[in-house]
Amino acid sequence: MARFAEKMVQLGTERSEIREAFAFAQARAAEVGPDKVDDFSIGNPSVPAPKQVGDLVKELVDAADPVQLHGYTPAQGDGQVRKALADDLNRRYGTDYDGDCFYLTAGAAAGLRIVLSALGCPGDAFVTMAPYFPEYKVFVESAGCTLVPVPADLEDFQIDFAAFQAALTPQTKAVIINSPNNPTGVVYSQATIEKLAQTLEEKSQEYGHTIYLISDEPYREIVYGEEPLPWVPSYYANTLVCYSYSKSLSLPGQRIGYVLVPKCAEGFGELYAAVCGAGRALGYVCAPSLFQFVVARCTGQTADIGIYRENRDILLNALREMGYTCAQPDGAFYLFPRTLEPDAHAFCQRARKYDLVLVPGDSFGCPGHVRISYCVPTEQIRRSLVKFQKLAEEYGLGK
Ligand code: PLP
């Protein structure tokens, strides 16, 4: 009988709770009609890509040399494209990147996986704050390393620095952060980033080796607060950025993003070579070429995130009025309220009675909470409120 890699069979067989919830919602929609089911399970952008994206695709397909347009680019991405991305960041953040700091990838997922293989040596640990994007565990472990989740401060989901410092050890190779955050929607304040940078400087000094910071930023442009989002590499030199256009330009299916390795990062020459090497070893070379050329000409553009802001405002205000507790979500398109009983799975099952589909926080390493993905039509947000209300009433709230 044929034998296969056990771990891969397991990963390919077990379904994530997000996928399971999504499948439930689809099955119910087929049964009772889509307008009866309020599916808040999945983070698929509900706002279309800007018109310019479609126009550019048409223009490129009609006018560009098809051999070049559809051909291989260099493994790390087209040189002109990488230069355009560097110029854009330099304009926005006063940095001095050039194209040779970039490696284009099939989304942030590939970027993260590349960076983890580039940095990870046997025995290394990667620390992240819980709740966290569940694929971190899969990616870190498949790079042969260990993920160490540290609970965030549950009041505001900023970093709990006492817990964080206690989790750092000489085995810590890097820390993964994600702000704006999936699943909480929380944005790290400047004070948090400053303190994080200071902690990493001190611990790097203490352990005699650099602790790198991996900033996973697919939601970078989706922010609603007054304060601009801190540009993390300006606070900590040894930061690698994993970026994606999946959310900002609503292009998740096109699989395009990049890894940025600033030249001031410790050991830049070998580090960038390791990123290229990991891309090669994983077969993640030459990110989709048509969309390389598209994103290079869409710098500064986003999908209409005003719709997400409206959704957030309606839902957050209503939930708080009903008595739910929810940390301030100033970015991305997720809310992460506390569940009204300790067992988030039981809470989600009760919600399903109303065809209200939510994801338990346990999936993100944070029980007692539930993720609500509000990247859905505003009409769905409005119609779901009565369901959230009935659910709250089951627990004696909002009567
Ligand atoms: N990181 C986080 C925090 C995410 O939420 C996602 C997708 O939802 C990814 C990475 C992967 O994004 P991509 O579609 O660019 O691979």
pTM > 0.95: yes or no? yes
Indicate the average pLDDT of the chain: 96
**Residue 83 to residue 69: CA distance in whole angstroms:** 17
192 — pLDDT class (breaks 50, 70, 90): very high
Is residue 151 in contact with ligand 1, taking CB distance under 6 Å? no
**Residue 195 to residue 235: CA distance in whole angstroms:** 10
Domains 6-50+303-394 and 68-296 share a fold: no
Query: Per residue in 293-309, pLDDT tens?
Result: 999 999 989 999 999 99
Class of the CATH domain delimited by 6-50+303-394:
alpha beta
- Where in the chain does DSSP place strands (E)? 38-39, 102-105, 125-130, 146-151, 172-177, 212-216, 239-244, 257-260, 334-335, 356-357, 359-360, 370-373
Residues sharing a CB contact under 8 Å with residue 324, sequence separation 6 or more, in sequence order: 337, 338, 340, 388, 392, 397
pLDDT on residue 243: 98
Atom of ligand 1 nearest to the CA of 132: 3
Is residue 216 in contact with ligand 1, taking CB distance under 6 Å? yes
pLDDT on residue 226: 84
Asked if residue 322 lies in contact with residue 398, where contact means CB atoms within 8 angstroms, the answer is yes
Query: Would you kindly state where each structural domain of the chain is located, as residue ranges?
Result: 6-50+303-394, 68-296
Atom of ligand 1 nearest to the CA of 110: 16
**Residue 303 to residue 62: CA distance in whole angstroms:** 24
Query: Does residue 399 carry a pLDDT above 70?
Result: no
Classify domain 68-296 at the CATH topology level.
Aspartate Aminotransferase; domain 2 (3.40.640)
Helix, strand, coil shares of the chain as percentages rounded to 5? 45, 15, 40
Query: Per residue in 53-95, pLDDT tens?
Result: 999 999 999 987 888 899 999 999 999 999 999 999 999 999 9
CA–centroid distance, residue 112 to ligand 1 (Å): 9
Atom of ligand 1 nearest to the CA of 257: 15
Q: Which amino acid is at 75?
A: A
Is residue 45 in contact with ligand 1, taking CB distance under 6 Å? no
Residues sharing a CB contact under 8 Å with residue 286, sequence separation 6 or more, in sequence order: 72, 73, 74, 75, 77
